[in-house]
Amino acid sequence: MKNQEIARIFSEMADILEIKGDNPFKIRAYRRAALNIEGLSRSVEDLSRDELLEIPGIGEELAAKIEEYIGTGAIHAHDKLKGEIPSGLLSLLAVPGLGPKTARQIFEQRHIASIDDLERAAREHKLAGIPGIQKKTEENILKGIATVQQGHERRPLGRVLPLALDLVEELRKRARFGAIEIAGSIRRRKETCKDIDIVATSPAPEEAMKAFITLPAVEQIIMHGPTRSSVVISDGLQVDLRVVAEESFGAALAYLTGSKGHNVRLRDMAVKQGLKINEYGIFREKDEARLGGAKEEDVYRLLGLPFIPPEMREDQGEVEAALAGRLPQLISQADIRGDLHVHSRWSDGGHTIEELVAAAKARGLSYLAITDHSQGLGVAHGLTVERLMAQKQEIAALNIQLTGFTILHGTEMDIKSDGSLDFPDQALKELDLVIASIHSGFKQTKEQITTRIIKAMKNPYVSIIAHPTGRLIGERDPYEVEMDDILRVAADTGTAIEINAYPLRLDLNDSHARRAKELGVPLVINTDTHSISQFDTLPYGIAIARRAWLEKGDVLNTLAVKDLRKRLKGNKGLGIN
DNA sequence: GCCGTTTTCGGCCCGACTGTTTTCAGTCG
């Protein structure tokens, strides 16, 4: 996908323009374009000129540059800009606290254009004396370099969200708080987050801030003011706390939830309506009269917009959809009626089918598909055809005893490296549903892997493709796959694609899932449970679905089991409705 | 460079905190 490459180029062009001191609005235009291309659900290669122009923040000039890149593999204006500053100077911008103005000064006055040289100069106090730099700035630069070297990568939502909830609980124990909410990218449920933003009210703001900066987990205080403080906690994660008055809580929550692009859009709309939005409220421009701000809804209502759910606030067309009254009714966890991807002790799961059923019932589900691994996956104790048939008997017997709950019998069948399927059709047609997925040959070419998956989808018994890119966030890159081709074939064959809720998978991701919806691909949200606690990862799958603008009707396992059987591709099974 | 029920030209979101300053620029979110 060229999107990431083009986004990186636009972002780099913005950096260079900033170092050069170019028009700030032009710089912002490049940054906005970069962000929006990065979050796009389709590859720019597949878009016509008109479709490119529909992307927020892309006009004639940038559309032409995108086309130039697709055609020639380079953008002339980018190469030209790169020639105007020394290579290496850009790398200085990676140091937190060191921006374009200072970087430029450092280069012009000391001819420093690498982080190594910068570190040496700071240690030897050779930066002091540059306008605006004294001892303290040298120290901060050294701290910033340490942060860069430690690696400040984004972390999976599945790690950061529980950590954030713990911090909130800890804060409540240590100081008096009124409202307290996690904001930022965690609230938008981005799949990875680089910091934790908390917004709160307190009857004793100073006490609240004090409690925050003295939390046991705090390793470094970046800044500490009366309404805002930032710290770094033990594992290198930055945490920001904002404390505001009750009348401002909603405005602050909206502001700190972002995204930045979304906020800019709202504020822009406000200005045009003679209003002003900041983190303290919504005000009338002419007399500064406060119109609202206690509730987040105020912000949207006063702009004449319906409430936009946090997961959609990415400046990816949600403002336009809201204006047109076309906001989707996002799916919620309560809509999910069953889980279609569950492993039992028959393969590599930790529990018996009965235990899994009890856990699913306790969570309000009304059906479950037992989908143990197939024979080829030896490490997971995959089932032979004989064991699969024995399992079928067990499930049939259990179903007779159950009321108001149905166990579907399925398999998670391996798509083997050579593209063949691990069970013969005669076995597959005995099942209620068939998941096919890849567990080997990750290093194959994009064409090979795409072909393997497409071949599986063309099998009439394959109902679902699970975790279609195989990624493990932060641990294993997705394998190369032409997702748009996969999704088109899925739509043609009626094969469902899974959103795997396991926090390190989240596969499909949000932008692929949004594209799937556009193409009319049926989707399912599954936990891929191997142990009972994993049922509780469902909210992460829901989060991805909501970020993809999915509605209840887009997801098959919101259906009652009877209707699910009608919609799932493959054998309708012999089971009980 | 984008964008338009105020505009096709002239606007473009807003504030906290820090360090280095004698009143503010730079950076960040």
Q: Which of A160, A211, A216 is nearest to A184 (CA)?
A: A160
pLDDT recorded at residue A577: 35
Q: Which nucleotide is nearest to A65 (CA to C1')?
A: B1
Give the 3-state DSSP-derived string for A71-113, with helices as H, strands as E and coil as C: HHCCCHHHHHHHCCCCCCCHHHHHCCCCCHHHHHHHHHHHCCC
Two tokens, residue A133: 């730099």
Q: Which residue is nearest to nucleotide B12 (CA to C1')?
A: A25
Question: b/e for A66-91, b at 16 or more Cβ within 10 A?
Answer: bbebbeeeebeebeebeeebeeebbe
pLDDT recorded at residue A43: 85
Which element (helix H / strand E) includes A135? Answer: helix A135-150
State the Cα–Cα distance between residues A547 and A317, nearest whole angstrom: 12
- The answer to whether strand B lies under 7 Å from the CB of residue A271 is yes
**C1' of B19 to CA of A491 (Å):** 58
Q: How does residue A42 score in pLDDT terms, banded at 50, 70 and 90?
A: confident
Name the one residue in this structure whose structure tokens are 């904001």.
A183
- The answer to whether strand B lies under 7 Å from the CB of residue A133 is yes
Q: Which residues pair with A564 in a beta bridge?
A: none
Q: Which residues pair with A476 in a beta bridge?
A: A472
pLDDT recorded at residue A151: 65
Q: Which nucleotide is nearest to A274 (CA to C1')?
A: B6
Note whether A555 and A501 are within 8 A (CB). no
Contacts of A503 (CB under 8 A, 6+ apart): A156, A157, A158, A159, A473, A537, A540
State the Cα–Cα distance between residues A282 and A271, nearest whole angstrom: 11
Class of the CATH-defined domain A155-243: alpha beta
Q: Which nucleotide is nearest to A135 (CA to C1')?
A: B19
- The answer to whether strand B lies under 7 Å from the CB of residue A229 is yes
Pairing of strands A195-200, A192-193: unpaired
Name the one residue in this structure whose structure tokens are 């024979």.
A375
- The answer to whether strand B lies under 7 Å from the CB of residue A228 is yes
- The answer to whether strand B lies under 7 Å from the CB of residue A527 is no
A488, burial (CB in 10 Å: exposed 0-12, middle 13-18, buried 19+): middle
Chain A residues 77-96 with Cβ under 7 Å of strand B are 77, 95-96
pLDDT recorded at residue A573: 43
- Respond yes or no on whether the N-terminal peptide bond of residue A508 is cis (omega within 30° of 0): yes
Number of H helices, E strands in chain A: 23, 17
Q: Which nucleotide is nearest to A64 (CA to C1')?
A: B1
pLDDT recorded at residue A88: 83
Q: Which of A539, A547, A498, A543 is nearest to A522 (CA)?
A: A498
- The answer to whether strand B lies under 7 Å from the CB of residue A58 is yes
Q: Which nucleotide is nearest to A104 (CA to C1')?
A: B26
Q: Which residue is nearest to nucleotide B21 (CA to C1')?
A: A132
Q: Is it the case that residue A231 has pLDDT exceeding 80?
A: yes
Q: Which residues pair with A551 in a beta bridge?
A: A330
**C1' of B5 to CA of A548 (Å):** 31
pLDDT recorded at residue A267: 87
Chain A residues 272-291 with Cβ under 7 Å of strand B are 272-274, 276-280
A385, burial (CB in 10 Å: exposed 0-12, middle 13-18, buried 19+): middle
Q: How does residue A134 score in pLDDT terms, banded at 50, 70 and 90?
A: confident
Chain A residues 245-264 with Cβ under 7 Å of strand B are 256, 260, 263-264
Give the alpha-carbon dihedral of A279, A283, A289, A293, to 10 degrees: -50
| The domain over range A248-323 is classified in CATH as 1.10.10.10 | no
Chain A residues 447-466 with Cβ under 7 Å of strand B are none
> A249 in helix, strand or coil?
helix
Mean pLDDT for chain A overall: 91
pLDDT recorded at residue A576: 37
State the Cα–Cα distance between residues A202 and A207, nearest whole angstrom: 9
Q: Which residue is nearest to nucleotide B6 (CA to C1')?
A: A272
Per residue in A273-332, pLDDT tens?
888 888 899 998 878 889 999 999 999 999 999 999 999 999 888 988 998 888 999 999
Class of the CATH-defined domain A2-153: mainly alpha
Q: Which nucleotide is nearest to A134 (CA to C1')?
A: B20
Q: What global pTM score does this model have?
A: 0.88
Q: Which segment of A16-25, A485-494, A498-507, A533-542 scores lowest on mean pLDDT? A: A16-25
Note whether A505 and A472 are within 8 A (CB). yes
Q: Which nucleotide is nearest to A272 (CA to C1')?
A: B6
The residue type at A148: V
A470, burial (CB in 10 Å: exposed 0-12, middle 13-18, buried 19+): buried
Q: Which of A469, A465, A452 is nearest to A493 (CA)?
A: A465
Percent of chain A with pLDDT over 70: 98
Q: Which residues pair with A223 in a beta bridge?
A: A230
Higher pLDDT, A574 or A123: A123
Nucleotides of B under 7 A from a protein CB: 1-3, 6-7, 11-21, 25-29
- The answer to whether strand B lies under 7 Å from the CB of residue A240 is yes
Q: Where are the domains of chain A?
A: 2-153, 155-243, 248-323, 338-571
Q: Which residue is nearest to nucleotide B18 (CA to C1')?
A: A223
The residue type at A319: V
Q: Residue A160's Cα: distance from chain center in Å? A: 12
State the Cα–Cα distance between residues A524 and A546, nearest whole angstrom: 13
**C1' of B24 to CA of A101 (Å):** 15
- The answer to whether strand B lies under 7 Å from the CB of residue A479 is no
State the Cα–Cα distance between residues A371 and A570, nearest whole angstrom: 15
Contacts of A91 (CB under 8 A, 6+ apart): A113, A114, A115
A395, burial (CB in 10 Å: exposed 0-12, middle 13-18, buried 19+): buried
**C1' of B27 to CA of A395 (Å):** 62
Chain A residues 136-155 with Cβ under 7 Å of strand B are 136-138, 140
Q: Which residue is nearest to nucleotide B24 (CA to C1')?
A: A132
A50, burial (CB in 10 Å: exposed 0-12, middle 13-18, buried 19+): exposed
**C1' of B18 to CA of A59 (Å):** 37
- The answer to whether strand B lies under 7 Å from the CB of residue A102 is yes
Two tokens, residue A123: 């240690």
Q: How does residue A228 score in pLDDT terms, banded at 50, 70 and 90?
A: very high
Q: Summarize the confidence of residues A160-165 as an average pLDDT.
A: 94
CATH number of A338-571: 3.20.20.140
Q: Summarize the confidence of residues A148-172 as an average pLDDT.
A: 88
Instruction: Centre a 10 Å sphere on the Cβ of residue A4 and count the other Cβ atoms it contains.
Output: 11
Helices (H), A459-482: none
Q: Which nucleotide is nearest to A97 (CA to C1')?
A: B27
